[in-house]
Amino acid sequence: MERFYLKGLKSNIIQYDSSFNFDDLIAFYQRSLDTLQTDTTGSGPVHFQLSNIELVYFNDREIEKQQIAVDMARKLFVEKTGKDFRNDGRSFISFLGLETKMEHDSMDIGEASEKLIEASAIDQLMARIENSRRSNIEEYLSRVSDSSGIRVFAPDAKSPKNTGAKPTFEVKYTMKREGRHRE
């Protein structure tokens, strides 16, 4: 077998202070070759090389925009009433109903929040969050190794993988067998 591809590999990227949970992947890639013991017949280890590493950013922008609107509406509720929405959810729903003139019984909190908060304010915060998320990853990759060759990109917003997706980076790569080496 000369080459194989891993398809459907998914990864959740988490930032811990100044590092990410994919440090091991970067270390593996920087060593151009790594030894994986797969042959137990005594003919030696098989070497693989990772290449074409991509972090593909998926996110359902509409879901995140609605969550941003809810968060902003909650902040406005606290500012106007001095109440904590976590302890007084009914007051928050009443507040949304009064502010948006929507009926309490059929009100969707997300829709009411989007109606209450200006779309431009939601869009601006959404853009800052997305830019920060992507730039944090790119800056980290550059800081760890400016020659990692790992690319970060976002597919078209209408991509089916964006539908219903929480902000996620999918890791794609090629792993090539370098041949057998005897020690």
Higher pLDDT, 26 or 174: 174
- Residues 27, 52, single domain; the answer is yes
Confidence band, pLDDT 50/70/90 cuts, at residue 49: low
Domain boundary among 90, 117, 144: 117
Q: How many domains does the chain have?
A: 2
Q: How many CB atoms lie within 10 A of CB 16?
A: 8
Dump the DSSP string for the chain.
--EEE--S------EETTEETTHHHHHHHHTS-EEE----SSS--EEEEEEEEEEEEE--HHHHHHHHHHHHHHHHHHHHH---TTT-HHHHHHHHHHHHT--STT--HHHHHHHHS-HHHHHHHHHHHHHHHHHHHHHHHHHH-TT---EEE---TT-GGGTT--SEEEEEEEEEEEEE---
pLDDT tens digits for range 58-91:
888 889 999 999 999 999 999 999 999 888 888 9
Provide the domain limits for residue 72.
62-117
- Residues 108, 145, single domain; the answer is no
- Residues 72, 53, single domain; the answer is no
**Is residue 45 pLDDT above 80, yes or no?**
no
Q: Which residues contact 60 (CB under 8 A, 6 or more apart)?
A: 162, 163, 164, 165, 166
- Residues 43, 22, single domain; the answer is yes
Q: Are 10 and 168 in contact (CB under 8 A)?
A: yes
**pLDDT value at position 11?**
57
- Residues 69, 50, single domain; the answer is no
- Residues 36, 9, single domain; the answer is yes
